[in-house]
Structure 1
């Protein structure tokens, strides 16, 4: 939920967590799903680059899916390391939920 007005294009938060490959992603998803874990926070950025914030993460993992989202994920490089940020796709008013399209591929 936005705690203040956020302008279009403004950086909101970095999406952090453990970066895992496809094989580990599939294993974890299977283990959690059939192990009774009901809440898991996995964000697939591209093939072999998935952020698992289930055990290590920040508030970004709580952003919900929206068919008309007000946020986008963008990749950038810091010292050769890929980072993922959440940015406002249009002005977001205080109190609005923060959403992005879970099917989106990052720019």
Structure 2
């Protein structure tokens, strides 16, 4: 285990409204879907895990685990991580229409070119 992705747990139906609010204020948005019903919003009150970048060849992975009846998002190491090495994981964004493709700039040898 490397770190927990923590923040405020909100209902999925509120994420679009929150994202629009953050955009209107020029605030970067950091949200991570737990499941169909809940999302962790780490934008204002989250752990440092929100700053972990995406990579198509990551050194970490994320999992939703159950702790005392609550769902938690945890980042785990895929391999030994060297001191000073950037932490990365695959965001695994859902596939969207071609016009909505999000470009990937991870720089990995086998980069998929898109986050979704």
> What interval of TM-score do these two structures reach, taking the shorter chain for normalisation?
0.7 to 0.9
* Preserved CA contact (<8 Å) 2:34 2:71: no
Q: Structure 2: which 5+ runs fail to align?
A: 95-116
RMSD: 1.7
Across the two proteins, how many residue pairs are aligned to each other? 94
Equivalent residue, structure 2, for 1:22: 12
Q: Give the CA deviation at 1:104.
A: 6.2
Q: Give the CA deviation at 1:22.
A: 1.7
Equivalent residue, structure 1, for 2:75: 86
> Structure 1 length as normaliser, TM-score?
0.79
Equivalent residue, structure 2, for 1:69: 58
Aligned counterpart in structure 2 of residue 46 of structure 1, from 15, 35, 49: 35
Q: Give the CA deviation at 1:20.
A: 1.3
Runs of 4 or more off by more than 4 Å in structure 1?
Answer: none
- 1:11-68 CA distances to partner (integer Å, 9 max, x unpaired)? 11111001112211111112222x1424121112322221110111111111011111
Equivalent residue, structure 1, for 2:21: 31
Q: Structure 1: which 5+ runs fail to align?
A: 1-10
Between 1 and 2, higher relative CO (CA 8 Å, sep ≥ 6) is seen in 1
